[in-house]
Amino acid sequence: MLVSVLLVVALVLRYDNLEQLDARMQKAQDRRESIDRNNRFSGTLANDLARLDVYRARIDAALVEPQNKASNLAYFYELGSQCKMAVRRVEQKAAPPPQGDPKKIKPEFTYFEPIVFDIGVDGSFADIMRFLGRMDKDRFLVRVDKLSIKRGDVLAGRMESADIVLTALCALPAKDK
């Protein structure tokens, strides 16, 4: 009788142990499965990452550095003279704040900060086109948001004048911590 009682006590005590052990085993197995799953999905990850890095580096190299304002403005003047036309003015401005409710509308930029360049040029039609084309494929990632071309005065040598508003991308400012 006594032995039985002792055995029951021992059984009950050890059962707790077994339960804890099983819980730990379940956790370990889940972890194992997640590692295996991650591994399975990551088969081509390193390869894809290497390819992605090419694009990322290209993008990072094409970002505008707003603090180097003089150099940025000089770039557009230089581009203008390369296209044999007069750059009347270049301004670097902060981009207008996004319209609408940010909760409802996904902001256009999450990873970048937009910056605006306002440019006025005078030149022949072909030169202006060349300027636009060069700018598109050149140093910065730019998008023309406004372009207005007006015919110049016939007496003033028939130069066309164009006003261009560009949006370019900058890196996000480093977060203060």
Partner 1 sequence: MPDLKLVRTNFLLNLVAGLVCLLLGGLFVYQEYVIAVHSETLVEIQKGIDRDAAVDRKNVTDCARFVRDVNKCMEVSTFLDVPFNEGALVVELARAQQPQSTFISFEYSRGKAAGAAAQSIIYEVNLRGSMSASDSRSAPQLIDGFVSNLESLQMLRDSGASVELRSSARDQELGLFNYAIRISLEQPAGGGVNEITAYYAFTQAVPSGGDFGAGQCASCGRACIALRQP
Contacts with partner 1 by CB under 8 A lie at 1, 3-4, 7-8, 10-11, 14-15, 17-18, 21-22, 24-25, 28-29, 31-32, 34-35, 38-46, 48-49, 51-56, 59, 99-101, 104-106, 108-112, 125, 129, 132-133, 136, 141, 143-151, 167, 169
Q: Which is nearer to partner 1, 1 or 156 (CB)?
A: 1
Minimum distance from residue 129 beta carbon to partner 1 (Å): 5
> What does the DSSP 8-state code read for residue 158?
S
Minimum distance from residue 24 beta carbon to partner 1 (Å): 6
Q: Which is nearer to partner 1, 26 or 71 (CB)?
A: 26
Spatial separation of the C-alpha atoms in residues 59 and 98, rounded to whole Å: 23
Q: Which is nearer to partner 1, 47 or 70 (CB)?
A: 47
Beta carbons of 160 and 124 less than 8 angstroms apart = yes
Spatial separation of the C-alpha atoms in residues 143 and 105, rounded to whole Å: 21
Minimum distance from residue 95 beta carbon to partner 1 (Å): 12
Minimum distance from residue 70 beta carbon to partner 1 (Å): 25
Minimum distance from residue 162 beta carbon to partner 1 (Å): 9
Spatial separation of the C-alpha atoms in residues 58 and 154, rounded to whole Å: 44
What per-residue string of b and e applies to 104-136 under the rule 16 or more CB within 10 Å gives b? eeeeeeeebbbbbbebebbbbeebbebbbeebe
Q: Which is nearer to partner 1, 101 or 176 (CB)?
A: 101
Beta pairing partners, 145: none
Spatial separation of the C-alpha atoms in residues 78 and 138, rounded to whole Å: 12
